[in-house]
Structure 1
Amino acid sequence: MQTCNVLLSIVIPAYNAGLFLAGTLDMLVSQGLENCEVIIINDGSTDNTEMICKAFSNKHSQISYISQNNHGVSAARNRGMELAKGKYVYFFDSDDSLSAGTLDFFRSVLARNLSIQMFGFGYEMRRNGGLIKKYISSKFDNQMLKSHILQESFFSKKFSCNICSCIYDRSFLKNHAIAFTQGVKIGEDVEFIIKALNEVDALYYSERVCFIYQLRDDSAMQGYKIYTLERMKSFELIRDAVLSLNIPDSRMEPRLNFFIANLYVSNLLAYLFSAGNKSKQIEALFILNKKYVYKCMKGKVINLMAIYLIRYIPLRFLFKIFKNY
């Protein structure tokens, strides 16, 4: 495929993805790969992932792969971004899916809006074929959202964004040195989105559900039922990304405070109700970071109720109650 013909590069990190990768690639091929390329980064897999990659790349000229030592999903996505030839890049996971006709829809939107820096769309979460939750923002449908509206909506939790529910202009990412932080197991995708939102001029949005996140009992996310130090590091990574934002509008400060406080409470509840032994080190970090709860004054009512409750309950008391949960 000639470089000039590539509109969209689909980057797929794959680690021991043999159980689902072939089905995912079959789905992409069935939707048509005209003006697209699929780049698979085999990140040190020990199963049959490389064999699947080789079989598909031999059969389809739009599919290529490289194998590397295991460096994690961030390094794999960054490598895919470096290899991409398309005007736009889309980060996709090896065990998820796209709704019927989505690649045609992507091509249609991107081909007629070549100045788009970011393109966002609806998505849904499913488990064993059943719908768990749908993430759409109907009031923004078919609109070009300016950066201030996008930031206000995202940080006040009125606009949902997943790493696989956005397509990025590759030059935009390169010019602003936006990449995934390596060495982090959790939260690197949210940090990436925050960095992009800090630089983007506008995002085109469609409420059409394109991406389907498949929640599986054996997926990587299911390992997070035990709250580890990695999850606390994830909170701190995202917190620092928000605190470092260069947004001159003073009206954004309450929304940023709400975002951090809401993230803190979500992590605290996940820790309290997690399986396994509790950690004095993690509890000390929660106590140290509780100051961010006191800065939150505005936000969605249901979230604020939890934030205010945590604000006035001593954490050591909570830790004692949930010690043997």
Structure 2
Amino acid sequence: MSRPLISIVIPVYNVEAYLERCLDSVLAQTYRNLEIILVDDGSTDSSTQIVDRYAHKDSRVVVIHQTNGGLSNARNHGIDVANGEYLTFIDSDDYVATDYVEYLYQLLAKNNFQSKLALCSLKTIFTQTGGFIDAGNGSEQTLSGEKAIEMMCYHDLVDTCAYAKLAKKELYDKVRFPEGKLFEDIATTYKLFDQCETVECGFVAKYFYMIRGNSIVTSGFKPSKLDLLAMTDEMASYVNQKYPSLKAATLRRQVYARFSTLNQMLTVTDYKAERDEILNFLRRNRKAIMSDPRTPKRDKLGYLMLTFGFNFYKLAWSGYLKVKTRKH
């Protein structure tokens, strides 16, 4: 137990079908000196009883029962009570490899703990089809904080997600998740990277991210999903001011946010003004994005689909999505 205490914060809300798989993967961690903080965010299903049962099973488990305040509020509460020197997040409907924490810790150890943050890759699993995408390439790199932000903006191995990262708890002294907002990760991860001279990256999938039919990502459009645009623009404004050389990268991320939001709006007939604003942004920036050699193929494909009009785009995107998520 001479190694530092690591706190794992797991927000829990009505995930009874997935929670035990998540918690079993955490209790099985090869890194043993853990504080496992389960924030029960006002669950109305049996999740409440499940977390209490796991607390009785393992003394490392700490349970907080609170009135529903949303994902960001639950994460923030977990940060406030965490006692660990390092902190990581796991979502309660996902799960992790048994060496998830150990792997991230060893990434930091390799450079004698000069870095304050380590990250690994995700394996995204589409539960409806059984398909998956492994975002890693097996490499390990030490990046500057600025380079990590750049790669994040291009979706180049580095992800915006709050999970699949192990950070010194002190980094969260200046970072809190925006409460009452969706897609809160885009508002926080760049602020963590910005505090780091270096970031240890292991592009190996140790975190298993489950996309379900009723998740935030796949559920139908609602106005709160426009939060992604505002937070992405806020990120771009901050990064452009501090790192002017990253303007092309942040513009790509802004374009990606528009495509992502547009894809959520394909089956709705209202919100025409919001959709037109998104389309106008995409058109204004088409030349810059298409001429950027680092723009991912997905974005360029989106622009090619739009060339033939919005109705064609709707049909073409639906076909692309089926190919992307089909079982391997």
TM-score range, shorter chain: 0.7 to 0.9
Q: CA 1:148 to 1:100, structure 2 compared with 1: closer, same or farther past 3 Å? A: same
Structure 1 contact 262–307 (Cα < 8 Å) conserved: no
Task: Give the structure 2 partner of residue 233 of structure 1.
Answer: 227
How big is the shift at 1:111? Answer: 5.2
Task: Give the structure 2 partner of residue 253 of structure 1.
Answer: 247
Structure 1 contact 180–192 (Cα < 8 Å) conserved: yes
Q: Secondary structure at the match of 1:31?
A: coil
**Structure 2 matches for 1:196-207, cutoff 5 A?**
196-207=192-203
How big is the shift at 1:147? Answer: 2.0
Structure 1 unaligned regions, length at least 5: none
Structure 2 contact 306–312 (Cα < 8 Å) conserved: no
Pick aligned residue for 2:87 from 85, 89, 106? 89
Task: Give the structure 1 partner of residue 34 of structure 2.
Answer: 36
Q: CA 1:321 to 1:58, structure 2 compared with 1: closer, same or farther past 3 Å? A: closer
TM-score between the two structures when normalised by the length of structure 1? 0.83
What one-letter code is carried by the residue in structure 2 that aligns with 1:125?
A: T
Q: CA 1:61 to 1:143, structure 2 compared with 1: closer, same or farther past 3 Å? A: same
**Once structures 1 and 2 are overlaid, which stretch shifts more, 65-74 or 196-205?**
196-205
The reply on whether 1:166 has 2:160 as its aligned counterpart is no
What one-letter code is carried by the residue in structure 1 that aligns with 2:195?
A: E
Structure 1 contact 6–85 (Cα < 8 Å) conserved: no
Pick aligned residue for 1:191 from 187, 191, 209? 187
**Structure 2 matches for 1:67-146, cutoff 5 A?**
67-110=65-108, 113-128=112-127, 130-138=130-138, 141-146=139-144
Task: Give the structure 2 partner of residue 212 of structure 1.
Answer: 208
Task: Give the structure 2 partner of residue 262 of structure 1.
Answer: 256
Q: CA 1:21 to 1:41, structure 2 compared with 1: closer, same or farther past 3 Å? A: same
Summarize deviations over 1:90-132 as a string: whole Å, max 9, x none.
1101111112433333444445643321101122011349441
What one-letter code is carried by the residue in structure 2 that aligns with 1:165?
A: A
Structure 2 unaligned regions, length at least 5: 319-328
The reply on whether 1:302 has 2:297 as its aligned counterpart is yes
Q: Secondary structure at the match of 1:258?
A: helix
Structure 2 contact 42–65 (Cα < 8 Å) conserved: yes
How big is the shift at 1:229? Answer: 1.2
Alignment RMSD (CA, Å): 3.0
TM-score between the two structures when normalised by the length of structure 2? 0.82
Summarize deviations over 1:156-175 as a string: whole Å, max 9, x none.
3323313222111111221x
**Once structures 1 and 2 are overlaid, which stretch shifts more, 149-158 or 88-97?**
149-158
Structure 1 contact 147–201 (Cα < 8 Å) conserved: yes
How big is the shift at 1:288? Answer: 6.5
How big is the shift at 1:43? Answer: 0.6
Separation in 2 of the partners of 1:80 and 1:189?
Answer: 16
Structure 2 contact 25–97 (Cα < 8 Å) conserved: no
Summarize deviations over 1:241-300 as a string: whole Å, max 9, x none.
2212265443211222222123223322432x3x34332342354267457625645242
Separation in 1 of the partners of 2:102 and 2:22?
Answer: 17
Task: Give the structure 2 partner of residue 278 of structure 1.
Answer: 270
Q: Secondary structure at the match of 1:71?
A: coil
Q: CA 1:32 to 1:63, structure 2 compared with 1: closer, same or farther past 3 Å? A: farther
Structure 2 contact 28–98 (Cα < 8 Å) conserved: no
Structure 2 contact 9–90 (Cα < 8 Å) conserved: yes
What one-letter code is carried by the residue in structure 2 that aligns with 1:124?
A: K
